Structure 1
Amino acid sequence: MFNDVIGFIKNLYGERSFIGLHEPIFGGNERKYVNEAIDSTFVSSVGKFVDQFESKFAEYIGGGHAIVTSNGTSALHAALHLLDVGPGDEVITQALTFVATANAIAYCGAHPVFLDSDIKNLGLSSLVLEEFLTQNAEVRDGVCRNKNTGRIIKACVPMHVFGHPVNIEEIVSICGRFHIAVLEDAAESVGSLYKGVHTGLFGKMGVYSFNGNKIITAGGGGLIVTRDAALGKRAKHVTTTAKVPHAWDFYHDEVGFNYRMPNLNAALALGQLERIPEFVSSKRAIAEEYGAFFDKKGIQFVREPADARSNYWLNAIVLDNREQRDLFLRETNGAGVMTRPIWQLMSELPMYKNSQFSDLQVARYLRDRIVNLPSSVRIG
């Protein structure tokens, strides 16, 4: 039934036995920098490539203070900790997200509150957020509480799905009225802009991932960004085991995390970062080809929302129903073309099934119909 789609993808990426979902590409200075890091013997969390990558990344996104971490999940956890999220607090996020978003909240001992998605950008719906807070929250003495549970609503974590920016300005505005800090889960949106500003720079903090399947990779790795210099300084301190700098003494002034990115990974990431304009351009061109093809097929292709410039990290289509989705997955994967469904709803996973959640009509609709397509960068 989907032979024409399989043929198109194989033509797009070349005839081969297996086409991955998102394969990294190395052809710049990655090997040179990694070898230099090895030769320096500084391969752990101290080294010049850690500092260079932080500086160059902040320059690329157009501002803020960048603090690298071991992975995107550790960045989320540390950022929530820095926002003083702790046991008994509540954190609002979307039900349709990667599990790391919810897990980081749980690591803090906090309770996730799962809200519905926006059909246009796939992320947290600003309309549902405002409705939920208007009906369920009250602010007293600068503190927002859930009227039903009595818990403090400490933060909101919108996630930019597949690199498509959420309606982040509106979300920040709504949360501001309710004295709720916004932490952007920008793990998938390196290279994406909303109204000309890079994702991750709208909230109190933003976090990114450089996992092996991301648009640029460090093999692993993550990063926290903030415009607040004092918060950035504390983020670096807390993610470096809260060790007070000293030539030889070991003194730690609070509970910290061993979350810093190793120099070896930063060397790889720096080589990748040098090529990101080329990568984003390639991915947007691929998205245009996909979009034109699926328009002719009468299949909905997920395009960037209004006011956004997406990196199109993962291209996606929306099929008619779950049965058609499952057939598509079987046929494409059976032909050596890697495709994947979107995630399960967080509220339906065993560890989060007792969490609060809104009506999730849109999230369930998307969960049953979305399929990700091969989206690797093409160079040459």
Structure 2
Amino acid sequence: MSPTTSQLSEFIRSLYQTNEFIPLHAPTFGEREKQNVLDTIESTFVSSVGEYVTSFEKQVEAFTGAHRAIATVNGTAALHTALYMSGVEQGDFVITQALTFVATCNAIHHMGAEPVFVDVNRQTLGMCPVALEAYLDESAITDGENCIHKRSGRKICACVPMHTFGHPVQLDELVTVCKKWNIELVEDAAESLGSFYKGQHTGTKARFSALSFNGNKIITTGGGGMLLCANETEARRAKHITTTAKVPHPYEFYHDEPGFNYRMPNLNAALGCAQMEKLETFIEKKRELAQQYRHFFKDSNFQFIDEPSECRSNFWLNAILCENERIRDSVLEEQNRAGIMCRPIWQLMNKLPMFKHCLHGELPISEDIQSRLVNIPSSPIGWDTI
């Protein structure tokens, strides 16, 4: 028997042990964060030059197993750089999922490219490799070097799956399809720091991927992102172009190619270094929270979104599928009225005005999930005491 909306409210309040407003996902700060930020202020190195930036990159490399990590001002900047480094050019097509956060498509648009939307997998909520291959079989040809859209003659350059809410996509299958069709795989791992696919951290399958440290992520730098690179030579160039392509010199300003002013400030990185020390604890507590939700919704008409098989998810945002859109709307209205922040998933990208002209395959699963999914409070239990 399904819980009523009031029973759901009572359960969530019992988890967080408060009668105050419960946010969807709150950042957690302690004394170390304050000490690090104060240290940067006192040092005066608050911008992109400072020891904390390099230290933060090294911590992320050690945790994820990535060959190199390049700190950026936000996740969109990291993804934009990943696409740039992958060779995406103006007029290219880049395949992504219709059910994603708008930043994925914004980064594609910033390249002068155009997104093409395919469906998601019901278990992962991320790009479905079967849907990807079906779209390519119908709409594309390959000359052995490039993938070409048959009707327009435009190049399909890259494919960007997103690890939705921290649940890893089917990376092995997507890698196979992309290799077959000569398409560059770029992982949007913005939401999946701490998530593993078959023992390998998300964002390390592709040559380039992007992480986010926005204020609502599992750890935060206020605003910030990270480009993960698999190759040392490419990593050096990525760092170079994200730092305005300035050639090192004691005092001269010389830039040898067009670049981006994307380097993360030391002030943000200081926060990130302190947050990385707590990441394992955050993940443990978020997985404990997911287990509580899993048990609560068991044998009900609500389906708890669980981690895919052979994966270990960070459960960045917990989610449930309601029976239908009417019940979803009721849950959203009642929980928010009760001071418990819940939200629907994003609008499908092909429904937004700036992307409604874009090509897409059949999207039955995306449309179904979009109409029924609710995100529920996901701050680590006891977040205010960590």
TM > 0.5 between the two? yes
Q: Does 1:231 align with 2:234?
A: yes
Cα offset, 1:28, TM superposition: 5.3
Q: Does 1:264 align with 2:252?
A: no
Q: Does 1:96 align with 2:96?
A: no
Work out the CA distance in 2 between the residues paired with 1:296 and 1:174. 37
Aligned to 1:210: 213
Cα offset, 1:267, TM superposition: 0.3
Work out the CA distance in 2 between the residues paired with 1:28 and 1:110. 44
Work out the CA distance in 1 between the residues paired with 2:381 and 2:37. 23
User: Which of 186, 192, 198 is the equivalent residue of 1:183?
Assistant: 186
User: Which of 345, 362, 367 is the equivalent residue of 2:365?
Assistant: 362
1:171-197: per-residue Cα shift (whole Å, max 9, x none)? Answer: 011101111111100000000000000
Aligned to 1:171: 174
Work out the CA distance in 2 between the residues paired with 1:99 and 1:124. 15
Cα offset, 1:16, TM superposition: 2.4
TM-score when scaled to structure 2?
0.97
Secondary structure class of the residue paired with 1:220: coil
2:25–2:378 contact (8 Å) kept in structure 1:
yes
Secondary structure class of the residue paired with 2:354: helix
Aligned to 1:18: 21
Instruction: Give runs of aligned pairs for residues 147-166 of structure 1, distance below 5 A.
Output: 147-166=150-169
Cα offset, 1:141, TM superposition: 4.8
Q: Does 1:52 align with 2:23?
A: no
2:89–2:113 contact (8 Å) kept in structure 1:
yes
Cα offset, 1:357, TM superposition: 0.4
Work out the CA distance in 1 between the residues paired with 2:100 and 2:41. 37
1:332-379: per-residue Cα shift (whole Å, max 9, x none)? Answer: 000000000000000000000010001110000000000000000124
Share of identical aligned residues, percent? Answer: 50
Instruction: Give runs of aligned pairs for residues 1-380 of structure 1, distance below 5 A.
Output: 1-27=4-30, 29-379=32-382
Cα offset, 1:89, TM superposition: 0.3
Work out the CA distance in 2 between the residues paired with 1:237 and 1:277. 31
Please list every run of 5 or more consecutive structure 1 residues that lacks an aligned counterpart in the other structure.
Answer: none
Work out the CA distance in 2 between the residues paired with 1:63 and 1:103. 25
Cα offset, 1:116, TM superposition: 0.4
More deviation, 293-302/205-214: 293-302
Q: Give the residue type in structure 2 aligned to 1:5.
A: L
Runs of 4 or more consecutive aligned structure 1 residues displaced over 3 Å after TM superposition: none
Secondary structure class of the residue paired with 1:214: coil
2:160–2:188 contact (8 Å) kept in structure 1:
yes
Q: Give the residue type in structure 2 aligned to 1:285.
A: E
1:66-121: per-residue Cα shift (whole Å, max 9, x none)? Answer: 00000001111111111121211000000000000001101111010000010010
1:45-64: per-residue Cα shift (whole Å, max 9, x none)? Answer: 01000000001110011232
TM-score when scaled to structure 1?
0.98
Secondary structure class of the residue paired with 2:298: helix
Q: Number of aligned pairs? A: 380
Work out the CA distance in 2 between the residues paired with 1:280 and 1:296. 26
CA RMSD, Structure 1 to Structure 2 (Å): 1.0
Work out the CA distance in 1 between the residues paired with 2:141 and 2:135. 11
Q: Give the residue type in structure 1 aligned to 2:21.
A: F
